[in-house]
Amino acid sequence: MIDIKFLRENPDLVKQNIKNKFQDQKLALVDEVIELDKQSRAVKLEADGLRAERNKCSKMIGALMGQGKKEEAEEMKKKVGEQAARLAECEALEAEYEEKIKKIMMVIPQIIDKSVPIGKDDSENVEVERFGDPFVPDFEIPYHTDIMESFDGIDLDSARRVAGNGFYYLMGDIARIHSAVISYARDFMVQRGFTYCVPPFMIRSDVVTGVMSFAEMEAMMYKIEGEDLYLIGTSEHSMIGKFIDQIIPEEQLPQTLTSYSPCFRKEKGAHGIEERGVYRIHQFEKQEMIVVCKPEDSPMWFDKLWQNTVDLFRSMDIPVRTLECCSGDLADLKVKSVDVEAWSPRQKKYFEVGSCSNLGDAQARRLKIRVNGKDSKYLAHTLNNTVVAPPRMLIAFLENNLNADGSVNIPVALRPYMGGQEKIVPKK
Protein backbone atom coordinates (compact mmCIF):
# COMPACT_ATOMS: atom_id res chain seq x y z
CA MET A 1 0.00 0.00 0.00
CA ILE A 2 1.66 3.20 -1.17
CA ASP A 3 1.31 6.70 0.25
CA ILE A 4 -1.62 8.65 -1.26
CA LYS A 5 0.55 11.78 -1.32
CA PHE A 6 3.20 9.89 -3.34
CA LEU A 7 0.54 8.70 -5.80
CA ARG A 8 -0.91 12.22 -6.09
CA GLU A 9 2.53 13.67 -6.93
CA ASN A 10 3.78 10.76 -9.09
CA PRO A 11 0.83 9.32 -11.02
CA ASP A 12 2.90 8.41 -14.09
CA LEU A 13 5.45 6.53 -11.99
CA VAL A 14 2.66 4.57 -10.27
CA LYS A 15 1.09 3.74 -13.65
CA GLN A 16 4.42 2.56 -15.04
CA ASN A 17 4.88 0.34 -11.98
CA ILE A 18 1.45 -1.19 -12.68
CA LYS A 19 2.49 -1.81 -16.30
CA ASN A 20 5.75 -3.39 -15.13
CA LYS A 21 3.69 -5.83 -13.09
CA PHE A 22 1.45 -6.59 -16.11
CA GLN A 23 -1.69 -5.43 -14.28
CA ASP A 24 -2.97 -2.97 -16.89
CA GLN A 25 -6.55 -3.49 -15.68
CA LYS A 26 -5.57 -1.40 -12.62
CA LEU A 27 -4.34 1.65 -14.57
CA ALA A 28 -7.72 3.41 -14.40
CA LEU A 29 -7.65 3.14 -10.61
CA VAL A 30 -4.87 5.74 -10.43
CA ASP A 31 -6.96 8.49 -12.03
CA GLU A 32 -10.02 7.36 -10.09
CA VAL A 33 -8.28 7.62 -6.73
CA ILE A 34 -6.74 10.99 -7.63
CA GLU A 35 -10.22 12.38 -8.36
CA LEU A 36 -11.63 10.89 -5.16
CA ASP A 37 -8.71 12.33 -3.20
CA LYS A 38 -9.38 15.76 -4.72
CA GLN A 39 -13.05 15.59 -3.72
CA SER A 40 -12.14 14.25 -0.28
CA ARG A 41 -9.75 17.11 0.43
CA ALA A 42 -12.32 19.68 -0.73
CA VAL A 43 -14.97 18.23 1.59
CA LYS A 44 -12.48 18.06 4.45
CA LEU A 45 -11.55 21.71 3.91
CA GLU A 46 -15.22 22.68 4.01
CA ALA A 47 -15.84 20.56 7.11
CA ASP A 48 -12.83 22.05 8.90
CA GLY A 49 -14.15 25.53 8.09
CA LEU A 50 -17.60 24.65 9.44
CA ARG A 51 -16.13 23.17 12.60
CA ALA A 52 -14.04 26.30 13.17
CA GLU A 53 -17.10 28.48 12.56
CA ARG A 54 -19.14 26.36 15.00
CA ASN A 55 -16.52 26.78 17.71
CA LYS A 56 -16.37 30.52 17.10
CA CYS A 57 -20.20 30.86 17.22
CA SER A 58 -20.40 28.79 20.41
CA LYS A 59 -18.08 31.23 22.16
CA MET A 60 -20.07 34.17 20.82
CA ILE A 61 -23.39 32.66 22.03
CA GLY A 62 -21.94 32.33 25.51
CA ALA A 63 -20.75 35.92 25.45
CA LEU A 64 -24.11 37.23 24.16
CA MET A 65 -26.04 35.29 26.79
CA GLY A 66 -23.73 36.73 29.43
CA GLN A 67 -24.49 40.22 28.16
CA GLY A 68 -28.23 39.55 28.25
CA LYS A 69 -28.53 39.73 24.46
CA LYS A 70 -30.91 36.80 24.23
CA GLU A 71 -32.38 37.53 20.79
CA GLU A 72 -28.95 37.85 19.17
CA ALA A 73 -27.87 34.64 20.89
CA GLU A 74 -30.92 32.81 19.53
CA GLU A 75 -30.15 34.06 16.01
CA MET A 76 -26.62 32.76 16.39
CA LYS A 77 -27.97 29.39 17.59
CA LYS A 78 -30.17 29.22 14.51
CA LYS A 79 -27.14 29.85 12.29
CA VAL A 80 -25.19 27.11 14.09
CA GLY A 81 -28.13 24.72 13.59
CA GLU A 82 -28.20 25.40 9.85
CA GLN A 83 -24.45 24.80 9.61
CA ALA A 84 -24.73 21.59 11.67
CA ALA A 85 -26.81 19.94 8.97
CA ARG A 86 -24.22 20.71 6.31
CA LEU A 87 -21.37 19.65 8.64
CA ALA A 88 -23.09 16.28 9.15
CA GLU A 89 -23.31 15.88 5.36
CA CYS A 90 -19.62 16.75 4.99
CA GLU A 91 -18.56 14.33 7.72
CA ALA A 92 -20.57 11.54 6.08
CA LEU A 93 -18.90 12.35 2.76
CA GLU A 94 -15.48 12.40 4.45
CA ALA A 95 -16.02 8.86 5.76
CA GLU A 96 -17.39 7.71 2.37
CA TYR A 97 -14.44 9.11 0.42
CA GLU A 98 -11.95 7.71 2.94
CA GLU A 99 -13.41 4.22 2.59
CA LYS A 100 -13.45 4.38 -1.24
CA ILE A 101 -9.87 5.64 -1.37
CA LYS A 102 -8.66 2.97 1.07
CA LYS A 103 -10.36 0.21 -0.95
CA ILE A 104 -8.61 1.30 -4.15
CA MET A 105 -5.24 1.94 -2.51
CA MET A 106 -5.29 -1.60 -1.10
CA VAL A 107 -5.17 -3.06 -4.63
CA ILE A 108 -2.67 -0.68 -6.24
CA PRO A 109 0.67 -2.54 -6.06
CA GLN A 110 3.66 -1.39 -4.05
CA ILE A 111 6.45 0.33 -6.01
CA ILE A 112 8.97 -2.40 -6.82
CA ASP A 113 12.71 -2.00 -6.38
CA LYS A 114 14.65 -0.75 -9.41
CA SER A 115 16.76 -3.93 -9.41
CA VAL A 116 13.73 -6.23 -9.98
CA PRO A 117 13.82 -7.80 -13.48
CA ILE A 118 10.75 -7.08 -15.61
CA GLY A 119 8.87 -10.24 -16.53
CA LYS A 120 5.32 -11.52 -16.85
CA ASP A 121 5.36 -14.57 -14.55
CA ASP A 122 7.61 -17.03 -12.69
CA SER A 123 8.89 -18.47 -15.98
CA GLU A 124 10.86 -15.23 -16.37
CA ASN A 125 12.49 -15.28 -12.93
CA VAL A 126 16.27 -14.91 -13.09
CA GLU A 127 18.83 -17.27 -11.56
CA VAL A 128 21.29 -15.35 -9.39
CA GLU A 129 23.73 -17.85 -7.88
CA ARG A 130 24.24 -21.58 -7.20
CA PHE A 131 25.60 -23.00 -3.96
CA GLY A 132 26.95 -26.55 -4.00
CA ASP A 133 27.30 -28.87 -6.98
CA PRO A 134 24.11 -30.50 -8.29
CA PHE A 135 24.70 -34.25 -8.32
CA VAL A 136 22.84 -37.12 -9.97
CA PRO A 137 23.78 -40.58 -8.61
CA ASP A 138 24.24 -43.64 -10.81
CA PHE A 139 21.20 -45.37 -9.28
CA GLU A 140 17.52 -44.55 -9.72
CA ILE A 141 15.98 -42.31 -7.05
CA PRO A 142 12.38 -43.25 -6.20
CA TYR A 143 9.54 -40.73 -5.81
CA HIS A 144 9.71 -39.08 -2.38
CA THR A 145 6.65 -40.84 -0.94
CA ASP A 146 8.12 -44.19 -2.06
CA ILE A 147 11.31 -43.38 -0.15
CA MET A 148 9.23 -42.49 2.93
CA GLU A 149 7.14 -45.66 2.62
CA SER A 150 10.30 -47.80 2.59
CA PHE A 151 10.84 -46.55 6.17
CA ASP A 152 7.14 -47.00 7.10
CA GLY A 153 7.35 -43.25 7.44
CA ILE A 154 4.18 -41.95 5.75
CA ASP A 155 0.50 -42.89 5.59
CA LEU A 156 -1.48 -40.90 3.04
CA ASP A 157 -4.43 -43.30 2.85
CA SER A 158 -5.31 -42.91 6.53
CA ALA A 159 -4.90 -39.14 6.26
CA ARG A 160 -7.38 -39.06 3.36
CA ARG A 161 -9.92 -40.98 5.44
CA VAL A 162 -9.43 -38.62 8.38
CA ALA A 163 -9.09 -35.22 6.67
CA GLY A 164 -9.18 -35.65 2.88
CA ASN A 165 -6.54 -35.03 0.23
CA GLY A 166 -3.64 -32.72 1.05
CA PHE A 167 -2.93 -34.20 4.50
CA TYR A 168 -0.52 -36.87 5.78
CA TYR A 169 0.68 -38.95 8.70
CA LEU A 170 4.46 -38.94 9.18
CA MET A 171 5.83 -41.73 11.35
CA GLY A 172 8.97 -43.30 12.75
CA ASP A 173 12.34 -42.11 11.45
CA ILE A 174 10.75 -39.82 8.84
CA ALA A 175 8.73 -38.06 11.55
CA ARG A 176 11.90 -37.80 13.67
CA ILE A 177 13.82 -36.19 10.80
CA HIS A 178 10.91 -33.77 10.29
CA SER A 179 11.06 -32.67 13.95
CA ALA A 180 14.88 -32.69 13.98
CA VAL A 181 15.03 -30.30 11.03
CA ILE A 182 12.61 -27.88 12.73
CA SER A 183 14.61 -27.98 16.00
CA TYR A 184 17.90 -27.54 14.16
CA ALA A 185 16.52 -24.59 12.18
CA ARG A 186 15.33 -22.96 15.42
CA ASP A 187 18.76 -23.25 17.03
CA PHE A 188 20.51 -22.22 13.80
CA MET A 189 18.60 -18.91 13.80
CA VAL A 190 19.00 -18.33 17.54
CA GLN A 191 22.78 -18.70 17.08
CA ARG A 192 22.55 -15.96 14.44
CA GLY A 193 21.04 -13.56 16.95
CA PHE A 194 17.32 -14.02 16.29
CA THR A 195 14.82 -14.27 19.17
CA TYR A 196 12.75 -17.45 19.17
CA CYS A 197 8.97 -17.05 19.27
CA VAL A 198 5.87 -19.25 19.12
CA PRO A 199 3.02 -16.98 17.90
CA PRO A 200 -0.80 -17.31 17.80
CA PHE A 201 -1.91 -19.67 15.06
CA MET A 202 -5.07 -17.63 14.37
CA ILE A 203 -5.35 -13.94 13.54
CA ARG A 204 -8.11 -11.37 13.11
CA SER A 205 -9.22 -9.97 9.76
CA ASP A 206 -7.55 -6.58 10.31
CA VAL A 207 -4.20 -8.36 10.63
CA VAL A 208 -4.91 -10.52 7.55
CA THR A 209 -5.63 -7.48 5.37
CA GLY A 210 -2.61 -5.76 6.89
CA VAL A 211 -0.09 -8.42 5.87
CA MET A 212 -1.34 -9.56 2.44
CA SER A 213 -3.33 -8.59 -0.62
CA PHE A 214 -7.00 -9.53 -1.05
CA ALA A 215 -6.09 -11.94 -3.86
CA GLU A 216 -3.60 -13.80 -1.63
CA MET A 217 -6.11 -13.85 1.22
CA GLU A 218 -8.81 -15.45 -0.91
CA ALA A 219 -6.43 -18.03 -2.38
CA MET A 220 -4.74 -19.01 0.88
CA MET A 221 -6.66 -18.40 4.10
CA TYR A 222 -9.07 -20.65 5.99
CA LYS A 223 -11.69 -18.67 7.94
CA ILE A 224 -13.09 -19.87 11.27
CA GLU A 225 -16.87 -20.01 10.88
CA GLY A 226 -18.72 -17.58 13.13
CA GLU A 227 -15.52 -15.89 14.34
CA ASP A 228 -13.39 -12.97 13.17
CA LEU A 229 -10.44 -15.34 13.00
CA TYR A 230 -8.35 -16.96 10.26
CA LEU A 231 -5.87 -19.84 10.45
CA ILE A 232 -2.42 -18.53 9.58
CA GLY A 233 -0.84 -19.50 6.26
CA THR A 234 2.61 -18.72 7.72
CA SER A 235 3.82 -17.40 11.06
CA GLU A 236 4.93 -14.21 9.30
CA HIS A 237 1.27 -13.15 9.47
CA SER A 238 0.99 -13.20 13.25
CA MET A 239 4.61 -12.13 13.78
CA ILE A 240 4.19 -8.91 11.77
CA GLY A 241 0.75 -8.51 13.34
CA LYS A 242 2.49 -8.44 16.74
CA PHE A 243 3.44 -4.82 15.99
CA ILE A 244 0.02 -3.56 14.85
CA ASP A 245 -0.72 0.01 16.01
CA GLN A 246 2.65 0.18 17.77
CA ILE A 247 5.15 3.04 17.94
CA ILE A 248 8.56 1.41 18.31
CA PRO A 249 11.44 3.44 19.82
CA GLU A 250 14.14 3.70 17.15
CA GLU A 251 16.78 2.35 19.54
CA GLN A 252 14.82 -0.93 19.73
CA LEU A 253 15.37 -1.60 16.01
CA PRO A 254 15.98 -3.93 14.36
CA GLN A 255 13.52 -6.48 15.70
CA THR A 256 14.85 -9.87 14.55
CA LEU A 257 12.59 -12.82 15.31
CA THR A 258 12.43 -16.47 14.29
CA SER A 259 9.12 -18.22 14.77
CA TYR A 260 7.74 -21.74 14.66
CA SER A 261 4.17 -22.53 13.64
CA PRO A 262 1.93 -24.93 11.80
CA CYS A 263 0.65 -23.38 8.57
CA PHE A 264 -2.72 -23.88 6.88
CA ARG A 265 -3.36 -23.17 3.19
CA LYS A 266 -6.19 -23.85 0.74
CA GLU A 267 -3.80 -24.64 -2.15
CA LYS A 268 -6.63 -24.64 -4.70
CA GLY A 269 -6.29 -26.01 -8.22
CA ALA A 270 -5.02 -29.12 -9.94
CA HIS A 271 -1.35 -30.03 -9.58
CA GLY A 272 1.02 -32.25 -11.51
CA ILE A 273 2.66 -35.44 -10.29
CA GLU A 274 5.66 -33.60 -8.85
CA GLU A 275 3.37 -31.54 -6.61
CA ARG A 276 1.61 -34.55 -5.06
CA GLY A 277 2.70 -36.46 -2.00
CA VAL A 278 3.86 -33.89 0.55
CA TYR A 279 4.90 -31.13 -1.85
CA ARG A 280 1.69 -29.07 -1.99
CA ILE A 281 -0.46 -29.69 1.07
CA HIS A 282 -3.04 -28.00 3.29
CA GLN A 283 -1.09 -28.31 6.54
CA PHE A 284 2.63 -28.15 7.27
CA GLU A 285 5.11 -26.77 9.81
CA LYS A 286 7.62 -24.05 9.26
CA GLN A 287 10.41 -22.10 10.88
CA GLU A 288 10.25 -18.46 9.73
CA MET A 289 12.37 -15.34 10.17
CA ILE A 290 11.05 -11.78 10.21
CA VAL A 291 12.73 -8.40 10.59
CA VAL A 292 11.29 -4.99 11.45
CA CYS A 293 13.88 -2.30 10.77
CA LYS A 294 14.69 1.23 9.66
CA PRO A 295 14.03 1.87 5.94
CA GLU A 296 17.70 2.42 5.12
CA ASP A 297 18.61 -0.98 6.62
CA SER A 298 16.10 -3.17 4.76
CA PRO A 299 18.30 -3.93 1.69
CA MET A 300 21.07 -5.16 4.00
CA TRP A 301 18.67 -7.34 5.98
CA PHE A 302 17.17 -8.72 2.77
CA ASP A 303 20.56 -10.12 1.75
CA LYS A 304 21.20 -11.50 5.23
CA LEU A 305 17.87 -13.30 5.34
CA TRP A 306 18.13 -15.27 2.11
CA GLN A 307 21.77 -16.11 2.95
CA ASN A 308 20.61 -17.70 6.21
CA THR A 309 18.42 -20.15 4.28
CA VAL A 310 21.21 -20.96 1.84
CA ASP A 311 23.61 -21.63 4.71
CA LEU A 312 21.11 -23.87 6.51
CA PHE A 313 20.50 -26.06 3.45
CA ARG A 314 24.19 -26.29 2.63
CA SER A 315 24.88 -27.45 6.21
CA MET A 316 22.62 -30.43 5.39
CA ASP A 317 24.47 -31.23 2.14
CA ILE A 318 21.69 -29.95 -0.11
CA PRO A 319 22.70 -27.90 -3.21
CA VAL A 320 20.59 -24.78 -3.69
CA ARG A 321 20.27 -21.77 -5.93
CA THR A 322 18.76 -18.31 -5.57
CA LEU A 323 16.24 -16.99 -8.05
CA GLU A 324 15.34 -13.30 -8.40
CA CYS A 325 11.56 -12.98 -8.75
CA CYS A 326 10.53 -10.87 -11.74
CA SER A 327 7.99 -8.04 -11.55
CA GLY A 328 5.00 -10.13 -12.63
CA ASP A 329 5.74 -12.81 -10.03
CA LEU A 330 5.79 -10.37 -7.09
CA ALA A 331 2.77 -10.17 -4.80
CA ASP A 332 1.34 -6.65 -4.66
CA LEU A 333 2.86 -5.77 -1.27
CA LYS A 334 6.39 -6.88 -2.15
CA VAL A 335 9.23 -4.56 -3.15
CA LYS A 336 11.69 -7.34 -3.95
CA SER A 337 11.80 -11.12 -3.54
CA VAL A 338 14.27 -13.97 -3.93
CA ASP A 339 13.31 -17.65 -3.95
CA VAL A 340 15.65 -20.29 -2.61
CA GLU A 341 15.39 -23.53 -4.60
CA ALA A 342 16.82 -26.93 -3.64
CA TRP A 343 18.29 -29.44 -6.07
CA SER A 344 16.23 -32.54 -6.86
CA PRO A 345 18.53 -35.27 -8.25
CA ARG A 346 15.43 -37.33 -9.15
CA GLN A 347 13.90 -34.57 -11.28
CA LYS A 348 17.32 -33.20 -12.30
CA LYS A 349 16.15 -29.68 -11.56
CA TYR A 350 15.65 -27.22 -8.69
CA PHE A 351 12.38 -26.62 -6.85
CA GLU A 352 11.28 -23.91 -4.41
CA VAL A 353 11.87 -24.47 -0.69
CA GLY A 354 11.75 -20.87 0.59
CA SER A 355 11.01 -17.29 -0.33
CA CYS A 356 12.65 -14.12 1.01
CA SER A 357 10.72 -10.85 0.69
CA ASN A 358 11.27 -7.17 1.38
CA LEU A 359 7.88 -5.48 1.76
CA GLY A 360 9.20 -1.97 2.31
CA ASP A 361 6.65 0.06 4.29
CA ALA A 362 3.58 -1.68 2.77
CA GLN A 363 2.66 -3.82 5.78
CA ALA A 364 3.71 -1.07 8.21
CA ARG A 365 1.40 1.44 6.49
CA ARG A 366 -1.57 -0.95 6.62
CA LEU A 367 -0.92 -2.01 10.21
CA LYS A 368 0.28 1.42 11.42
CA ILE A 369 3.69 0.19 12.58
CA ARG A 370 5.63 3.37 13.26
CA VAL A 371 9.07 4.22 14.60
CA ASN A 372 9.72 7.03 17.04
CA GLY A 373 12.85 8.58 15.49
CA LYS A 374 15.05 11.40 16.74
CA ASP A 375 13.29 14.04 14.67
CA SER A 376 9.93 12.52 13.77
CA LYS A 377 7.85 9.35 13.53
CA TYR A 378 8.14 7.24 10.38
CA LEU A 379 6.96 3.87 9.04
CA ALA A 380 9.13 0.81 9.64
CA HIS A 381 10.17 -1.64 6.92
CA THR A 382 9.28 -5.33 7.26
CA LEU A 383 10.94 -8.41 5.78
CA ASN A 384 10.35 -12.14 6.02
CA ASN A 385 11.97 -15.35 4.86
CA THR A 386 11.47 -19.09 5.21
CA VAL A 387 14.14 -20.75 7.32
CA VAL A 388 12.83 -24.20 6.50
CA ALA A 389 9.42 -25.73 5.76
CA PRO A 390 9.17 -29.48 6.12
CA PRO A 391 7.73 -31.74 4.93
CA ARG A 392 8.46 -30.19 1.49
CA MET A 393 12.05 -29.72 2.53
CA LEU A 394 12.17 -33.49 3.30
CA ILE A 395 11.92 -34.17 -0.43
CA ALA A 396 15.25 -32.44 -1.04
CA PHE A 397 16.75 -33.92 2.13
CA LEU A 398 15.87 -37.53 1.28
CA GLU A 399 16.84 -37.32 -2.39
CA ASN A 400 20.21 -35.67 -1.75
CA ASN A 401 21.19 -37.95 1.15
CA LEU A 402 19.89 -41.25 -0.29
CA ASN A 403 22.27 -44.18 -0.76
CA ALA A 404 22.04 -46.99 -3.34
CA ASP A 405 20.93 -49.48 -0.64
CA GLY A 406 17.97 -47.24 0.28
CA SER A 407 19.49 -45.90 3.51
CA VAL A 408 19.64 -42.14 4.11
CA ASN A 409 22.66 -40.35 5.54
CA ILE A 410 22.12 -37.96 8.44
CA PRO A 411 24.31 -34.86 7.97
CA VAL A 412 26.66 -34.06 10.87
CA ALA A 413 24.74 -30.89 11.79
CA LEU A 414 21.53 -32.87 12.28
CA ARG A 415 22.89 -35.85 14.23
CA PRO A 416 22.53 -34.29 17.71
CA TYR A 417 18.81 -33.99 17.00
CA MET A 418 18.61 -37.63 15.85
CA GLY A 419 20.20 -39.24 18.92
CA GLY A 420 23.59 -39.38 17.22
CA GLN A 421 22.41 -41.55 14.31
CA GLU A 422 24.60 -41.36 11.20
CA LYS A 423 22.00 -42.92 8.90
CA ILE A 424 18.53 -44.38 8.87
CA VAL A 425 17.89 -47.80 7.29
CA PRO A 426 14.71 -48.77 5.38
CA LYS A 427 12.39 -51.41 6.81
CA LYS A 428 11.31 -52.72 3.42
Q: What is the pLDDT along the chain (428 residues), one digit of tens a residue?
A: 899 999 999 999 999 999 999 999 999 999 999 999 999 999 999 888 888 877 777 777 677 677 777 777 667 777 767 778 888 889 899 999 999 999 999 999 999 999 999 999 999 999 999 999 999 999 999 999 999 999 999 999 999 999 998 899 999 999 999 999 999 999 999 999 999 999 999 999 999 999 988 778 888 899 999 999 999 999 999 999 999 999 999 999 999 999 999 999 997 654 555 557 888 889 999 999 999 999 999 999 999 999 999 999 999 999 999 999 999 999 999 999 999 999 999 999 999 999 999 999 999 999 999 999 999 999 999 999 999 998 889 999 999 999 999 999 999 999 999 999 999 999 98
**Extended beta strands in 333-412, E state:** 336-344, 349-358, 370-372, 377-379, 381-388, 408-409
Residues 122, 270: Cα–Cα separation, whole Å:
18
> 17 Cβ partners below 8 Å, 6+ apart?
109, 111, 112
Which of 281, 282, 273, 278 has the alpha carbon at shortest distance from 170?
Answer: 278
Contact present, 352 and 340 (Cβ < 8 Å): yes
Same domain, 129 and 59: no
Residue 390 within a domain: yes
What's the domain count of the chain? 2
The pTM (predicted TM-score) of the whole model is 0.89
The pLDDT, as a whole number, for residue 217 is 81
Same domain, 85 and 191: no
Residues 139, 192: Cα–Cα separation, whole Å:
38
Question: Domain limits at 12?
Answer: 4-105
Q: Which DSSP symbol is given to 251?
A: G
The pLDDT, as a whole number, for residue 272 is 56
Contact present, 232 and 264 (Cβ < 8 Å): yes
Domain C-terminal end among 50, 79, 105: 105
Same domain, 240 and 352: yes
Crossing angle between the packed helical segments 70-105 and 27-66, to the nearest 10 degrees: 160
Domain C-terminal end among 105, 130, 164: 105
Same domain, 206 and 71: no
Same domain, 42 and 133: no
Element housing 60 (H / E): helix 27-66
Domain C-terminal end among 72, 105, 138: 105
Which of 148, 143, 144 has the alpha carbon at shortest distance from 175?
Answer: 148
The CA–CA distances, whole Å, from 108 to 2, 12, 119, 222, 286 equal 8, 13, 18, 24, 30
Contact present, 203 and 236 (Cβ < 8 Å): no
Q: What is the per-residue burial (b if ≥16 Cβ within 10 Å, else e) of 87-103? A: beebeebbeebeebbee
Contact present, 388 and 340 (Cβ < 8 Å): no
Same domain, 242 and 339: yes
Same domain, 340 and 212: yes
**Extended beta strands in 20-155, E state:** 126-131, 154-155
Residue 282 within a domain: yes
Same domain, 394 and 282: yes
Residue 410 within a domain: yes
CATH at residue 388: 3.30.930.10
Q: Sort strands 195-197 and 255-264 into parallel, antiparallel or unpaired.
A: parallel
The pLDDT, as a whole number, for residue 65 is 72
Which of 187, 185, 184, 151 has the alpha carbon at shortest distance from 170?
Answer: 151
Residue 384 sits at the vertex; the CA angle it makes with 318 and 25, to the nearest 5 degrees, is 110
The pLDDT, as a whole number, for residue 279 is 85
The pLDDT, as a whole number, for residue 380 is 98
Residue 117 within a domain: no
Same domain, 37 and 141: no
Residue 191 within a domain: yes
The CA–CA distances, whole Å, from 195 to 175, 188, 383 equal 26, 11, 15
Same domain, 92 and 147: no
Same domain, 83 and 138: no
The 3-state DSSP class for residue 324 equals: strand
Residue 233 within a domain: yes
